[in-house]
Amino acid sequence: PLRCHTSNEQLLTSITKRLTNWDMEGFTKVKDAAIYKAILSHLRKRNAPTIFRKAVRSQNQRAYDGANELAFGAAVNTDGTELKISPSMQVLVRGACALHTRLLGAYHHSIKEQNVPEPRPATKRMIEKVQNEISPVLKKKPQPEAIWKSIRDTDISRRARNFMWTALHGAHKVGKYWKHIPGYEERATCSDCGATEDLEHILLHCKRPWCRLIWDIAKDLWPKTMTMVIGQNPLWGSY
């Protein structure tokens, strides 16, 4: 895991508590949206966990001061070039990643990308899957923006919205996520079917009886008009 320590409480709260909601709401009215978008895009590209903590100077003074110095260096280095870190400075900051520096680094990166971070490959794949599977039902291909907007509908409970948002990013900790985590590799595979236990397998294809059962119960709960969308088999975009 990557451990990020910051002394800035507001930043800590923004990243750990608000970032995903801001993203769901389209970053409207968020100050420094470009920086936060870039941070989010960096975090999503990571496979291993990222841990954020409050930095306390008294606990590791050398790392704290070293990180501050790096952040200051990055702040004055505004031409967007790579930040040079001397070997002695690397020793100072080892174990304590200065979020200020990451922030500025991410900011420079986002300027290079004209503030439009590319969607993660997993997100792109999921959006394409939804588009392809729902197109024959809707008789038109929904644009990605329409799909994102549809899951922000406040008629849907917040928990369900969060679930769908995470699913669309392919960010649930299932299937391939576990493949490269030593000691947890077996979690990648369904113990009943032997297939990769990704969300699609869990929700749609698993042979375990409760997979089918849940959909049958769900069909009973949905209004009759929904059968047109759901049809006989559940598909991406219908849940």
- Which of 39, 55, 190, 235 lies at the binding interface for Zn ion (CB under 5 A)? 190
Q: Which is nearer to Zn ion, 25 or 192 (CB)?
A: 192
C-alpha to C-alpha distance for 148 and 141, rounded to whole angstroms: 14
Q: Which is nearer to Zn ion, 149 or 205 (CB)?
A: 205
Q: Which is nearer to Zn ion, 156 or 195 (CB)?
A: 195
Q: Which stretch binds Zn ion (CB under 5 A): 127-135, 146-154, 169-177, 184-192?
A: 184-192
Q: Which two tokens stand for residue 191?
A: 């113990």
185 binds Zn ion (CB under 5 A): no
192 binds Zn ion (CB under 5 A): yes
What's the min distance (Å) between Cβ of 194 and Zn ion? 8
Return left, alpha or beta for 117; rule: phi > 0 is left, psi -120 to 50 is alpha, else beta: beta
Backbone angles phi, psi at 39, to 5 degrees: -60, -45
Long-range CB contacts for residues 171-176, cutoff 8 Å, separation at least 24 = 171/44, 171/122, 172/199, 174/198, 174/199, 174/202, 175/199, 175/201
What's the min distance (Å) between Cβ of 222 and Zn ion? 24
What's the min distance (Å) between Cβ of 192 and Zn ion? 5
Q: Which is nearer to Zn ion, 122 or 202 (CB)?
A: 202
CB contact at 8 A, 49 and 81? no
C-alpha to C-alpha distance for 92 and 63, rounded to whole angstroms: 5
65 binds Zn ion (CB under 5 A): no
Pattern 200-219, binding to Zn ion, x per CB under 5 A?
------x-------------
Which stretch of DSSP H or E encloses residue 11? helix 9-13
What's the min distance (Å) between Cβ of 235 and Zn ion? 18
How many residues line the site for Zn ion (CB under 5 A)? 4
Q: Which is nearer to Zn ion, 70 or 190 (CB)?
A: 190
CB contact at 8 A, 105 and 80? no
What's the min distance (Å) between Cβ of 185 and Zn ion? 17
For residue 47, which of 167, 142, 170 has the smallest C-alpha distance? Answer: 170
174 binds Zn ion (CB under 5 A): no
Residues that bind Zn ion (CB under 5 A): 190, 192-193, 206
